[in-house]
Amino acid sequence: MKILVAGASGALGRPLVARLRQAGHDVWGMAQSAGGVAAVNALGAGVVQGNVLDRAAVFAIMERVRPDCVVDQLTSLPASPFDLPQRLPADRVLRLQGGGHLFDAAQACGVRQYIQQSCGFYLDGAGGLADDAAPLKTTAPGHIGESARMYAQLEKRVMSAANMQGTALRYGFFYGPRTWYWPDGAFTTHMRQGEVAQIGAGKSVFSFIHVEDAAEATVRALGARGGVYNVVDDQPVAVHAWLPAYARWVGAPPPGAMAEQDAVQQLGEESVYYQNALDGATNHKARSVLGFVPRAQPWAG
């Protein structure tokens, strides 16, 4: 199968391109920067350079490659999670507008299958674990709600395709090489500098996924029926449990403590919501349909 991966040089894009090639597919990666093009070239895939915000360029690329499947892994995230609120407006433009150009071009060129990156950590599990049918937390405060509404739009778009099989993969919080959550990642740097605190009771439940496992699930989705899949690991875990365990794993000091009222004043309402109102997710459908078996979190020991 010929596959075009948009966002091919990212933390998930690179292992995905490598696994697709290992599975025998004809893989093309789309990247914007010269560094991204070099990274895709180094993986041995075909590469096309272009800006997805340029609609005409995207249509020209799609006409040139003529893939059977498009995998949209477009993101524009900052190097540090602390800078996320400032970066999110640009990220939304890239995914909604640029991804919209990609989606329209795929439809126009007769692409048979479209796989969309979505979100497995802003799901509404009604206080429990969210399954694949759960809605996104679109009424959450501030940038969390804005992001949830963006993901809801992405899912609606891909599932509305008339002549393409649409799949939305709801990935959990990424960890692994080139992510925030890794020994050399930005979150670890903040922890080692004593800049991370548990807010209130830390009741939020996080669902993580290693980028290599996310890539494997994406490859498996190529041969499965379309739909929405939670791509998360088997260990949904509360902030108050994983945060100190992560600190021990990376050799950082234990996280500090911050009262919710202080967090609202210093960091905004979203910070309290983030650490106390997120629901984890189940991966039963991905395990059953995709044969997906994720690894254990390295800090869970």
Q: Is there a domain that residue 141 lies in?
A: yes
Residue 58 structure tokens: 């995207």
In a 3-state reduction of DSSP, which class is residue 229? strand
Which pLDDT score is estimated for 1? 96
Q: Is there a domain that residue 254 lies in?
A: no
Nearest in space to 167 (alpha carbons), one of 124, 104, 123, 117: 117
Which pLDDT score is estimated for 284? 97
Which pLDDT score is estimated for 214? 98
Residues 200 and 272: beta-carbon distance below 8 Å? yes
Q: Is there a domain that residue 183 lies in?
A: no
Domain count, the chain: 1
Whole domain around residue 74: which residue ranges? 2-178+208-233+282-290
Q: Is there a domain that residue 63 lies in?
A: yes
CATH code at position 13:
3.40.50.720
Q: Which residues of the chain have pLDDT under 70?
A: none
DSSP H or E stretch at residue 26: strand 26-31
Q: Is there a domain that residue 94 lies in?
A: yes
Q: Is there a domain that residue 257 lies in?
A: no
Which pLDDT score is estimated for 260? 97
Q: Is there a domain that residue 169 lies in?
A: yes
Q: Is there a domain that residue 213 lies in?
A: yes
- The predicted-structure confidence for 110-143, as pLDDT tens digits, reads as follows 999 999 999 999 999 998 999 999 999 999 999 9
Decide the pairing of beta strands 237-238 and 205-206: antiparallel
CA–CA dist 263, 276 (Å, integer): 12
